[in-house]
Amino acid sequence: MKTGIFSVRLGEKAHRVTITAGGEARVDDGAPLLVSAEGEHTVIVREGDKTRRVVVSAAGERRQVFVDGEIYDVTVGAEIAGRRRAGRADSDHLAAPMPARVTAVLVEAGQHVRKGDVLIKLEAMKMELAVRAPRDGAVKRVACRVGELVQPGVGLLDLE
Amino acid sequence: MIRRLLVANRGEIAVRVIRACRELGVETVAVYSEADRGALHARLADIAVPIGPAPAIDSYLRVERLIDAASTSRADAVHPGYGFLAENAGFAQACEDAGLIFVGPPAPVIATMGSKIESRARALEAGLPIVPGEAPEAQDDAALCAAAERVGFPLLVKASAGGGGKGMRVAHARKDLAEAFAAARHEATGAFGDATLYLERLLRKPSHVEVQVFGDAHGNVFHLFERDCSTQRRHQKVIEESPAPWLSDALRRRMSEAAVALARHIGYRNAGTIEFLVEGRGDDAHFYFLEMNTRLQVEHPITEAVAGVDLVHAQLRVASGEPLPWRQASLAQRGHAIECRIYAEDPSTDFLPQAGPLTVYLEPQGPGIRVDSGVVEGDEVSIYYDPLLAKLVASAETREMARERMLAALRRFVVLGIKTNIPFLIRVLEHPRFVEAAIDTSFLDREGHGLCEQSAGPGLEAALAAAAAHDGRPAARAAESPAVADPWDRLQGWRSGRN
């Protein structure tokens, strides 16, 4: 199950979904929900007394979701990926743009970096991708390891 | 009993027939096109024979290939299912000529009832009311007007050579005729090259009610009551139910007896359905013969549910020369059953047929729930055939309980990877007109558009949270371990010990 802050787009509208390590989720500013994974497709979502079994089929960024006879087609991405929100300095949380494998982590927490420095190397579709620092700053947290398979939108590294 | 049966069909009906054969100790032969390699029906049969490329015209409709397949697999009988060659008299005759038992009526009966003109003539002879109509020899306006007076208004001016709604015009009164004739002739000439017109009374908001009949080779003819199939979209049935909820006992009896009279008159054998249009309700209701289908129908499970019979077993018994094991007086309808056809279609794009992988496919189960399907999770749905994935049948003591049971089942019928009409079916079943049992054949075409669009429902927030929480791994293909629970379904090429 994933944790972090996500942008889930349904049609024209993008919703912000936050999920903590404890399985607490919030959609936009809604009531807290508890989420847990069951098997490969099912996510149990609890709100107060109500439990829903939600079935998810994934393909890349797209998710097709079934809940109580309703079906939704959504895309899930990083909440603050630079290319999605023009005009905002979305440089605090860096994420992979596509499913990829981490081949090198070149920095550690506390280290100061300059804009353009290569922080993490990824491999996807036989290409090497470099995740570069979008600005000067200090590495707050490295959230991935060499060899790990990462999904788009999942945080790799946070800058202060 | 037949020893080895070749099922000349695919998908859910082939699976249905194969399972019935297994119950009766009959060996099975499946045929499959290239697109159906690995399909459920081919895996379930004792023997599977390839019959050609994906398009039906090159495979499932190839009479000589099917006869060859029966010959090489040493089958002694053929079941045509529905659609494809099921009502093709030539195919029935070819089977007979090849020494194969055809599970259905004799070829000449198929031919007679397959002709609009012939079948209406037989119905009249048997004393049935038919939809008033005339195909006048003289086609000048004066003669057509005189015919129109006899047929009655409102009426449809139709192209004799036509179909698909082309070359049809409505005339509400005598003053509309001249223009209707001109317009229909013009369109008919353009579409079919034939301006011959036929006049048929336009029934007011008719219901479609059909009666199941069955004959054997010992002179017995039975009816197994009626089904209401009025929930149709562009003449394609979507939801069927039995009994017809608003039908009076008197009308039910008259229609059932009329159906038996016709079946007897034409020497009918095996399963068949006589379709009627019913206009009006209560004491003002009138029924009219529309046509006969000389085969097992898609919606046969709802008759099985309320009458407590197995129609495919009965088909095999009749084909084997046995008498039908029923007495008309002891056949009865009990409770209520509703069937929903699950189609791989997207309601929001005018029901465009869908193709793609069934990444998740989980059928509902429970008391009073039956699912007949030809697919399992992981299958690839193609565009070559009818987009029917499965039939979901809910039965219960009352109509309202069956409706609620159906809704609950649809809400847990998970199909992902391609779009289906499940969300649309839910909205139809919740519609006040359906709840009141006030559906006529034009209801969906009139009001269906409002039921096609997906609006955000109460589960939206949970859906968004789950979409974000899911780890994003695509579903593993389940081809090796089908979602079907029956372990017997995983055995392949297993023989029962006979040669």
Secondary structure in 3-state letters for chain A: CCCEEEEEEECCEEEEEEECCCCEEEECCCCCEEEEEECCCEEEEEECCEEEEEEEEEECCEEEEEECCEEEEEEEEECCCCCCCCCCCCCCEEECCCCEEEEEECCCCCCEECCCCEEEEEEECCEEEEEECCCCEEEEEECCCCCCEECCCCEEEEEC
Q: Which of A17, A58, A69 shows the shortest C-beta gap to B464? A: A17
- Please identify every stretch of chain A with a pLDDT value under 70, giving residue numbers as ranges: 79-91, 125-127, 152-153
In a domain, A17, yes or no: yes
The whole-angstrom separation of Cα B214 and Cα B264 is: 10
The whole-angstrom separation of Cα A85 and Cα A3 is: 21
State the CATH number of the domain containing residue B190.
3.30.1490.20
A54 and B459 within 8 Å at the Cβ level: the answer is yes
Number of domains in chain A: 2
Q: Which of B454, B456, B469 shows the shortest C-beta gap to A19? A: B469
Q: Give the pair of three-digit tokens for residue B186.
A: 């013009």
Kindly state whether residues B162 and B222 are assigned to the same domain. no
Task: List per-residue pLDDT tens for chain B, 499 residues long.
Answer: 999 999 999 999 999 999 999 999 999 999 999 999 999 999 999 999 999 999 999 999 999 999 999 999 999 999 999 999 999 999 999 999 999 999 999 999 999 998 877 888 999 999 999 998 888 888 999 999 999 999 999 998 987 766 556 678 889 999 999 999 999 888 888 777 778 888 989 898 899 999 999 999 999 999 999 999 999 987 789 999 999 999 999 999 999 999 999 999 999 999 999 999 999 988 789 999 988 999 999 999 999 999 999 999 999 999 999 999 999 999 999 999 999 999 999 998 888 888 999 999 999 999 999 999 999 999 999 889 989 999 999 999 999 999 999 999 999 999 999 999 999 999 999 999 999 999 898 898 888 888 887 778 889 999 999 999 998 888 765 434 444 445 555 444 444 444 4
In a domain, A85, yes or no: no
Can you name the residues that pair with A6 across neighbouring β-strands? A17, A78
B419 and A71 within 8 Å at the Cβ level: the answer is yes
Q: Which residue of A has its CA nearest to B357?
A: A57
> How far apart are the CA of A61 and the nearest CA of chain B, in angstroms?
8
Query: Which letter does DSSP use for residue B126 in this model?
Result: T
Pairs of residues, one from chain A and one from chain B, whose beta carbons lie less than 8 Å apart: 140
> Which residue in the list B65, B233, B295, B399 is annotated as catalytic?
B295
Q: Which of A15, A45, A69 shows the shortest C-beta gap to B422? A: A69
B362 and A56 within 8 Å at the Cβ level: the answer is no
**Alpha-carbon dihedral of residues A45, B348, B340, B208, nearest 10 degrees?**
150
Final residue of a domain: which of B201, B218, B239?
B201
Kindly state whether residues B230 and B190 are assigned to the same domain. no
Kindly state whether residues A10 and A66 are assigned to the same domain. yes
Domain that holds residue B157: 133-201
Residues of B contacting chain A (CB within 8 angstroms)? 359-360, 362, 407, 410-417, 419, 422-423, 426, 454, 456-476
Kindly state whether residues B159 and B247 are assigned to the same domain. no
Q: Please name which of B13, B23, B107 lies closest in space to residue B60, comparing C-alpha atoms.
A: B13
The whole-angstrom separation of Cα B9 and Cα B139 is: 42
Q: What's the predicted TM-score (pTM) here?
A: 0.79
Q: Give the pair of three-digit tokens for residue A136.
A: 């000067």
Contact assessment for residue B320 and residue B1, using Cβ atoms and an 8 Å cutoff:
yes
In the residue annotation, B295 being an active-site residue is answered as yes
In a domain, B299, yes or no: yes
Q: Give the pair of three-digit tokens for residue A132.
A: 């570069």
Q: Report CA B257 to chain centroid distance, whole Å.
A: 22
- Residue A81, chain B, CB below 8 Å: the answer is no
> How far apart are the CA of B453 and the nearest CA of chain A, in angstroms?
12
DSSP string over B455-477 = ---TTHHHHHHHHHHS--PPPPP
Number of domains in chain B: 3
The whole-angstrom separation of Cα A122 and Cα A154 is: 13
State the CATH number of the domain containing residue B47.
3.40.50.20
Kindly state whether residues A72 and A21 are assigned to the same domain. yes
In a domain, A12, yes or no: yes
Beta-strand pair B101-102/B77-79:
parallel
- Residue A114, chain B, CB below 8 Å: the answer is no
Residue A4: count of CB within 10 angstroms of its CB: 19
B148 Cβ neighbours under 8 A, 6+ residues apart: B155, B171, B174, B177, B199
Can you name the residues that pair with B137 across neighbouring β-strands? none
Domain that holds residue A21: 4-78
The whole-angstrom separation of Cα B316 and Cα B28 is: 12
